Amino acid sequence: MRGSFKILYLGDIVGRPARKFLLERLPHIRETNGIDLVIANAENATSGAGINLKSLRELRSAQIDVLTLGDHALDRDFCTGADENRDLGNVCAPCNLENGPRCPDFVICESSGIKVGVCVVLGKHFMKLRASCPFKKFDEMLAKYGPSVDIFILEVHAEATSEKIACGWYGDGKAGLIVGTHTHVQTADECILPHGTAYITDLGMCGAHRSVIGRDISAVLESFVNGARCKLVIADEDLRLKGCIVDFDRATKRAIKISRFVHLD
């Protein structure tokens, strides 16, 4: 058995080009990096807005173990509908929305005998959806599920950098890993915090680097510069996968290393 337990956590997957790129590349990335578990945010997986069953199946085939959602979780009937046969077992929705999607708000995934639990909180600042306090919700989730997992992961899906950094300090020593998502731009502040929690403010995005956070540049410029209401189509040039790889000690289950991850052609 390898020395450390390795988790690859990928940022927001944007549209079909990113799904296709993951299908092509992720199995090999898993193998060559000795990854035990892959978690990815899939809130933009289907045409940039939410996720449907086809995308979910594709991403499972790409060997992603846990898929998280963010503020786009309510964009599609697939996540909000009442059909009990939707097979959303490994899809983790934000836990601090009052009328959130009908998906689990905590997902436990086991790999080589280590149980990893994942939950997502939405930030409260500059977000369209109204969420309850992410700090109090984190405490609640930790008290409820913390004892049943070896590694507790918190994803903070938020616009405000300050809110994500504050969540990092708040959760230091309580969660094994805290990652930020939503801005689609990877930050260079990955670290192990003083009480042992691995942390990064934003994982970045899986999608087209030649874009405006995954969307076609000219369409976004039309919208910003001329105020035109045009379709913000998904960009597909210069695809990259971004996130982080975190090594945990198999005995203590504590984070020992966090590295930014970037894969491109």
- What amino acid is encoded at 36 in this protein? D
Answer yes or no: are the C-beta atoms of 29 and 37 closer than 8 Å.
no
C-alpha span between 90 and 242 (Å, rounded): 21
Region of 4-12, 53-61, 105-113, 215-223 interacting with Fe ion (CB under 5 A): 4-12
* 8 A C-beta contact, residue 247 and residue 261: no
Annotated active-site residue 125? The verdict is no
70: contact with Fe ion by CB under 5 A: yes
- Does 12 sit near Fe ion (CB under 5 A)? yes
Q: Which stretch binds Fe ion (CB under 5 A): 41-49, 134-142, 170-178, 228-236?
A: 41-49
28, 72, 184, 195: the active-site residue: 72
Binding to Fe ion by residue 71, rule CB under 5 A?
A: yes
- Number of residues forming the site for Fe ion (CB under 5 A): 5
Looking at 44, 68, 186, 201, which residue binds Fe ion (CB under 5 A)? 44
Helix (H) or strand (E) run with residue 258 in it: strand 255-264
Asked whether position 236 contacts Fe ion by CB under 5 A, the answer is: no
The number of beta carbons lying within 10 Å of the beta carbon of residue 41 is 30
| Cβ-Cβ contacts under 8 Å for 1 (sequence gap 6 or more) | 112, 250
Residues 152-191 binding Fe ion (CB under 5 A) are 182
The residues of the shown chain that bind Fe ion, judged by CB under 5 A, are 12, 44, 70-71, 182
